[in-house]
Amino acid sequence: MKKILSLILLLLFFSCTCEAKNFKQSVNSVINDSKISQNSISISVKDADTGAKVYSLNDKILFHPASVQKLLTIVPIVEILGNDYNFKTELYSRGNSAYVIKLGADPYLSTSDLKELVNRINQEQVKNIYIDDSIVEQKDWGEGWQWDDDLNPLMPRFSSYNLDRNLIKLTVMHREPNQQALIINPSKYPLVFINNVVTSDTNNVKISRDNVIASNALKLDGTVSSTVSKNIPNNNLKRYFKFKLTSVLEDRSIYLKAPYKNTVIVAEDKKVEEVIHPIDSAVNDVLKNSNNMAIESMNKLAAAKFYQKTGTDTDGIKLIQAYYKRIGLDSSRIRITDASGVSKNNLTDADFISEFLVKNKDNAILTHMATPGEGTLSNRLIPLKGNLQAKTGTLSDISTIAGLIKTKNGKNYAFCIMINDPASSESEKKVLEDYIIRALYYM
């Protein structure tokens, strides 16, 4: 009986070794056939159940992780905030004629939520409204974020004054051929437009800020053949918030003579109303749709909750690093400067990410990762739906993907693929990633 058992184990060993060897040959072959230099690729595949290394390529070399970094940050952030955490924006009364709006840096706060708060204000008695914005620091961009990405709607600013996802929607409408297009600004937030868009047979609208004229001046160039919508990152969150607050107050015929002043909530203030949004929606948004503003806000809020003071990004990163130490991960080699992975100052290696996934494979937070057919995997790896959950990352010259996969043979693997290569296109990088993941599934 012992001989039979030993033979079975020996056959399983050779079978696994053969499968790993075939996978390695297949991956190495497709890399060699691609236009991407092997030196620009970092891969780590590990058995999710044992942590054993299955395949590696440059797995200890530091690369830019892009949004795959969100896997490394959201788990410790949610651990601190708690699964039942709610983003809150609160209204307090102060005496008989004043109110305080306590901001919660809620990444999902909307103008309609402001209306809900304002509806609880006593129209006849109110003379002053104060704002408590002390929950997080007023630094509204991450370290190392690129100034030339100021108009990237995926990278809006973030602060206590988060409102309407910190984006302003513009609509560019066509007219008669060769005539100037019509620009509509539904928010009514004061913007200056330099309109060089004309009606033609193609949609090709380009927008830039013209700070020479004013910080709120936008230059629009190009052509439009049908209605085009553009989301523009708001570059002054406090001014936008106060503009919208004034608008909803005036809708109720509340006209204040005194300007909004800053304050902090005191014991005598009485809560009148609150608007909440649950953290679950943010976790889904971050891991499926890669929402940068949400995870950056959450990082500062985690710091605020833990240290019981104004939350900062650096304090949030300290808590994330402490989590790695607690689960036995050596993070001394890697560099994390923001929570989202937007900054190119971030550096990590594929081995660290795959090991993080192994240690957290049963963490419920990771079940929120996208599966094929949803989020950032909407059009990728569809045949693997039900067997793959992953987080993608994309920056200029960078494409990454990491996650957990159950193979055709029922094995569980953690993997990370990072490609930092300026010589290849984004699609070429992602095609290579998809090939490697499919090969892993059939291993």
pLDDT at 20: 61
pLDDT digits (tens, 9 = 90+) for 369-427: 999 999 999 999 999 999 999 999 999 999 999 999 999 999 999 999 999 999 999 99
The pLDDT of residue 19? 56
pLDDT in tens, 353-368: 999 999 999 999 999 9
Among 210, 209, 236, 206, which residue's Cα sits nearest to residue 223? Answer: 206
Reported as half-sphere exposure (CB side, CA atoms, 13 A), residue 10 has a value of: 6
| DSSP strands (E only) in 341-396 | 388-395
For residue 82, what pLDDT band results from cuts at 50, 70 and 90? Answer: very high
**How many Cβ atoms are within 10 Å of 382's Cβ, its own excluded?**
11
Mean pLDDT (the chain, rounded) = 92
Say what the pLDDT of residue 106 is. Answer: 98
Q: What is the pLDDT of residues 277-286, one digit of tens each?
A: 999 999 999 9
CA 59 to chain CA mean position, Å = 25
Judge contact between 377 and 324, C-beta under 8 A: no
Domains in the chain: boundaries: 21-81+281-441
Residue with token string 């988060």: 162
pLDDT band at 107 (very low <50, low <70, confident <90, very high): very high
Instruction: Please give the structure tokens belonging to residue 234.
Output: 């708001």
Q: How far apart, in Å, do the first and last CA atoms of the chain sit?
A: 30
pLDDT at position 146, please? 75
Provide φ and ψ at 126, rounded to 5°: -65, 130
Average pLDDT (250-276) is 96
pLDDT digits (tens, 9 = 90+) for 42-78: 999 999 999 999 999 999 999 999 999 999 999 999 9
Question: What is the Cα 27 distance to its own chain's centre?
Answer: 30
- Which strand ranges, in their side-by-side order, compose the sheet holding 204-209? 192-199, 217-224, 204-209
Left if phi > 0, otherwise alpha if psi is -120 to 50, otherwise beta: which for 199?
beta
pLDDT of residue 26: 84
Residues 21-81+281-441, CATH architecture = 3-Layer(aba) Sandwich (3.40)
User: How far apart (Å, rounded) are the C-alpha atoms in residues 219 and 212?
Assistant: 11
Alpha carbon of residue 50 to chain centroid: 30
Residue 217 and residue 206 in contact, taking contact as beta carbons nearer than 8 Å: no
